[in-house]
């Protein structure tokens, strides 16, 4: 029998974001999802954050054990989805909590929701404060001013992408460059990939262009990492998994004369 919302099965899934900073970003709704769930699955970015969420519910199951060095990430994510869905199928009210926003750079929440809905379970996503949100606040960037492009660093290398150097460019997961989806890469591989990244960026930016290495604060007593270096120094920089590259515009916005002319004629016609 279908429920009033059209769900045919008893279990349910809510994928929520717990934000980045411990204690600061958990929304009242996300907290309520955690408190009211039968089972909570957790993918946190910090062991202390994991402990904190464990204090909010009696049955918090970390997704960290699914990761392993040299294990295929795709396999890890599939196992996460299976573990979450097994509880949904058992009729439980499941909350899957992911650090940041559960739908940003996270494969498992989208996939778990897709499968759960397909099987007739109620499933939805609650947004969380992502590292991107922290980045705008900490660096004082308004993406509306010049525009902002976001790419996964590896993807920028693998595919032909058009970079607009008159807008901001944000590159995510730079610290994971070269791991080929297997969770760990040799430092030499990282370095080699980073050198290729510099060459790729140098097509659109001068090598002396100042870029920012950014990392949001996970604990409220810490400050965010904001380090400015020249693009050519990127290979030597100390970059970790949670670091992001922010490349400010290198060119002025170029007016589109033809479009402006057409718009002006449109204005005159309507005046």
Partner 1 sequence: MIVTPRLRLRALALRDMALFRALYCDPGTMRHIGKPLSRAVAVASLRATVAATRKPAGLRFFVIAECQSRRGVGLCSLRPAAWDKRGIELGIMLVHTARRHGYAREAFAALINYAFRALPIDTIWVQYRRANAGMARLCDILGFEGNFLPRSGTSVRRCVRIRRDRNGAVFSNQPTRGITMSNIIGFLEQAGSNAAMRHASREALLRTMQDKEIENVLRQPHRSLLDDLTGARETMYCKNTAIAPPKQKAPAKKKPAKKTPAKKPAKKAPAKRKR
Q: Closest Cα to residue 30, out of 41, 11, 17? A: 17
User: With binding defined as CB under 8 A, does residue 48 bind partner 1?
Assistant: yes
Residue 141 binds to partner 1 (criterion: CB under 8 A): no
Among 12, 87, 130, 173, indicate the residue that binds partner 1 (CB under 8 A): 173
Active site annotation includes 159: no
**Residue 164: CB minimum distance to partner 1, A:** 21
- Residue 83 · residue 3 · CB < 8 Å: no
77 is catalytic: yes
- Residue 91 in contact with partner 1, rule: CB under 8 A: no
Contacts 24+ apart (CB under 8 A), 101-107: 101/17, 101/127, 101/128, 101/129, 101/130, 101/132, 101/133, 102/15, 102/16, 102/17, 102/126, 102/127, 102/128, 103/15, 103/17, 103/127, 104/130, 104/132, 105/152, 105/172, 105/173, 106/43, 107/77
* Interactions with partner 1, residue window 13-32 (CB under 8 A): 21-25, 32
Q: What count of other Cβ atoms lies within 10 Å of the Cβ of residue 95?
A: 27
User: Is 54 or 164 the residue whose CB approaches partner 1 more closely?
Assistant: 54
Nearer to partner 1, 94 or 250 (CB): 94
Binding site for partner 1 (CB under 8 A): 21-25, 32, 35-36, 43-48, 50-52, 54-58, 60, 62, 64, 67, 73-74, 77, 98-99, 105-108, 152, 154-155, 157-159, 173, 176, 180-181, 183, 219-221, 241-242
Catalytic residues: 73, 77, 99
């Amino acid at each position: 029998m279908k429920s009033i919302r059209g769900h045919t099965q008893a279990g349910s899934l809510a994928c929520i974001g717990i934000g980045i900073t411990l204690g600061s970003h958990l929304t009242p709704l996300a907290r309520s999802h955690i408190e009211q769930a039968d089972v909570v699955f957790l993918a946190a970015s910090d062991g202390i954050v994991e402990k904190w969420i464990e204090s909010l519910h009696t049955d918090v199951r970390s997704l960290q054990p699914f990761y392993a060095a040299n294990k295929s990430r795709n396999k890890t994510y599939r196992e996460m989805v299976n573990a979450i869905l097994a509880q949904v199928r058992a009729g439980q009210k499941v909350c899957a909590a992911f650090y940041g926003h559960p739908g940003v750079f996270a494969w498992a929440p989208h996939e778990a929701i897709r499968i759960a809905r397909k099987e007739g379970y109620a499933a939805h996503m609650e947004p969380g404060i992502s590292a991107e949100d922290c980045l705008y606040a900490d660096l004082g960037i308004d993406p509306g001013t010049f525009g902002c492009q976001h790419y996964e660093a590896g993807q920028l290398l693998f595919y032909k992408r058009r970079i607009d150097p008159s807008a901001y460019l944000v590159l995510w997961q730079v610290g994971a460059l070269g791991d080929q989806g297997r969770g760990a890469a040799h430092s030499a591989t990282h370095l080699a990939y980073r050198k290729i990244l510099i060459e790729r960026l140098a097509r659109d930016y001068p090598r002396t262009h100042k870029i920012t290495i950014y990392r949001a604060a996970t604990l409220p007593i810490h400050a965010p990492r904001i380090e400015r270096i020249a693009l050519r120094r990127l290979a030597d920089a100390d970059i970790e998994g949670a670091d992001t590259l922010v490349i400010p515009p290198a060119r002025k916005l170029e007016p589109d004369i033809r479009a402006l002319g057409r718009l002006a004629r449109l204005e005159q016609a309507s005046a």
